[in-house]
Structure formats: structure tokens, C-alpha cells
Structure 1
């Protein structure tokens, strides 16, 4: 088995491509050793002591190094952990938990949506799913919808995109421009 790596726009994050499916559907982000307890793989990566974020996509794992950590030292450790995991065909999650479902607290809306906006919300989610998600997945991350209220769309960037120096530009110039173009009710996009 060979695990490829790819740079991301976030210099602290590296995308690992094991050449096989990681998640059946969806994505999952681990932002601390405590949240990583749900996954033996994520926990093993955090156990290096040099990681601040682990993100599972459908066919990749993105790892974000702690400040001051050199990828020259960390990369071989992560590759070895991933090889051990995938070669042994170990389960991705402990206790048989569903792999495509994020922790409920991460999926909560940050605003109370108006039921009258249901069509607008559906349009926003369709654009996020078909146009935005593939692009951010290519950069080793994902995007989570957090709500729509008074013309403002609330989103959370995950994985490599979460701490990326260009995340504000991605939200404001990229995603906001796209949503405003296709959904006139959208006036702004904010990080949530």
C-alpha cells in the first residue's frame, strides 16, 4: 500500500491520500485528543503529541500540525499510523459508531431559521453540496452549513480550511460571491 500526500493552502496541514475510501459518506473533524477518542485512527494521530486537528474526508485524511512542528519529522509518523490502520483493516470508529455522521453539537445551527426561508436554504445547501464542497475537499477540508437569517449565511470551514491563512478570502470572495450570484436573498457570508 502507498499513501500519497498533497499540500494544502494551509501550510500547517497536509492531506494524506490512502488510495481507498476513508468515509462512506460525509466527513468528520477531530479538534482535540478528547474528540478523537471516537476514532482509534484519529486518536493514534493525536497521540504523536504534535497534532491539533485530524479531518476525515471520503478518500483522504487531513492532519494539521501544532505550531512549530516540522512536517519533515511528523509526516513519517502519520504515514506509518495510516499504513498500520489501513493494512490491518481496523474500524475507523470505536464501538461501531456511524462513520458519516458528525458529532451533533457540530451540526447545530447557530441561528434560529425562519421557516419562510426554506426554499432559500435548500438553494444554498444545493450550491454548497455541488459547487463548494468539492473545491474545499480538494484542499483537504469541508464546509458545514450553520444557518441562514436576515440574508446572512453562517458557515464553518473544517479540516485544512479551518486554519488556512486564506480562509477569510475563501468565505468572502469565493463562497459569498457564488451564493450572492445564484441566490439573491443572500447578502453576506459569515464564519460561525
Structure 2
């Protein structure tokens, strides 16, 4: 088995591609060692002491190193942990498959949308799903819809995109411009 690595726009995060499915459905972010206890793989990555974030995508894992970590030393450790996990065919989540675990969803911590805005929200979600999420996944992350209120779209960046120096530019210059173009009711995009 060979695990490819790619850089991301976030210098603290590397994207690891094991050449197989990681998550069958959705994505999952672990922002602390306590959260990582739900996954033996994420827990093992945090155990290195230099990892501050782990993100599972459909076919990749993004790993964020803490301040002062040296990727030239951490990268071989991460690859070794990933190889051990995938070769042993260990479960991704403690207690079984992702289907058995209560995973966060787009509606967790979301704002209450006004049902009168249903058509606008459907357009926003369609654009996010077809145009934005694939591009963000290429950079080792994901974007989660949190709500729409009075022209403002609330989104959360995850994985390599969370904490990335260019994330605010991505939200404002990329995503906001796209949504304003296709959905004239959108006036602004904010991080939530």
C-alpha cells in the first residue's frame, strides 16, 4: 500500500491519500484529542503529541500540525500510523462503522432557517454541493452550511480550510462572489 501526500493552502496541514475510501458518507473533523477518542485512527494521530487536527474526507485524511511542529519529522510518523490502520483493516470509528456513530451533520449548530426562504436555501445548498465542496475537498477540507438569514449565508470551514490563512479570502472572494452571482438574494457570506 502506498499513501500519497499533498500540500494544502494551509501550511500547517497536509493531505494524505490512502488510495481507498476513508468515509463512505459525509466528512468528520476532530479538533481535539477528546473528540478523537471516537476514532482509533484519529486518536493514534493525536497521540503523536504534535497533531492538533484530523479531518476525514471521502478519500483523504487531512492532518494539522501544531505550532513549531516539523513536518519533515511528523510526516513519516503520520504515514506509518495510516499504513498500520489501513493494512490491519481496523474500523475507522470505535464501536463500528460511521453509520453506527452519531456524526455531526450540516444541521448541528445551524441557524433556524425561515421556511419562506426555502427556494433560496435550496439554490445555495445546490451551489455549495456541486461547485464549492469539490473544490474545497481538493484542498483537504470541507464547507458546512449553517444557515441563511436576511441575505447572509453562514458557513463553517473544516479540515485544512479551518484556520487556513486564505480561508477568509476564499469565503469573501470566492464563495460569496459565486453565491451572489447565482442567487441575487445573497448579500454576504460569513464564517459561523
TM-score, normalised with respect to structure 2: 0.96
Question: Could you tell me how far apart the structure 1 residues matched to 2:35 and 2:106 are?
Answer: 12
Would you say the 8 A contact 1:14–1:64 is kept in 2?
A: yes
Would you say the 8 A contact 1:42–1:54 is kept in 2?
A: yes
Would you say the 8 A contact 1:143–1:156 is kept in 2?
A: yes
Q: 1:179 maps to what in 2?
A: 179
Q: 1:169 maps to what in 2?
A: 169
When structure 1 is superposed on structure 2, of 88-97 and 55-64 the one drifting more is: 88-97
Q: 2:95 maps to what in 1?
A: 95
Would you say the 8 A contact 1:179–1:186 is kept in 2?
A: yes
Question: Could you tell me how far apart the structure 1 residues matched to 2:177 and 2:97 are?
Answer: 37
TM-score, normalised with respect to structure 1: 0.96
Matches within 5 A, 1:102-141: 102-103=103-104, 107-109=108-110, 111-141=111-141
Q: 2:155 maps to what in 1?
A: 155
The number of residues matched between the two structures is: 191
* 3-state DSSP of counterpart to 2:173: helix
* 3-state DSSP of counterpart to 1:96: coil
Would you say the 8 A contact 1:152–1:190 is kept in 2?
A: yes
Question: Could you tell me how far apart the structure 1 residues matched to 2:67 and 2:154 are?
Answer: 28
* 3-state DSSP of counterpart to 2:74: helix
Deviation at 1:102, TM superposition (A): 3.2
Q: 1:78 maps to what in 2?
A: 78
Deviation at 1:98, TM superposition (A): 2.4
Deviation at 1:112, TM superposition (A): 2.3
RMSD over aligned CA atoms reads 1.5
Q: 2:43 maps to what in 1?
A: 43
Question: Could you tell me how far apart the structure 1 residues matched to 2:155 and 2:122 are?
Answer: 15
Q: Does 1:188 align with 2:188?
A: yes
Structure 2 unaligned blocks of 5 or more: none
Question: Could you tell me how far apart the structure 1 residues matched to 2:3 and 2:97 are?
Answer: 25
* 3-state DSSP of counterpart to 2:113: coil
When structure 1 is superposed on structure 2, of 169-178 and 111-120 the one drifting more is: 111-120
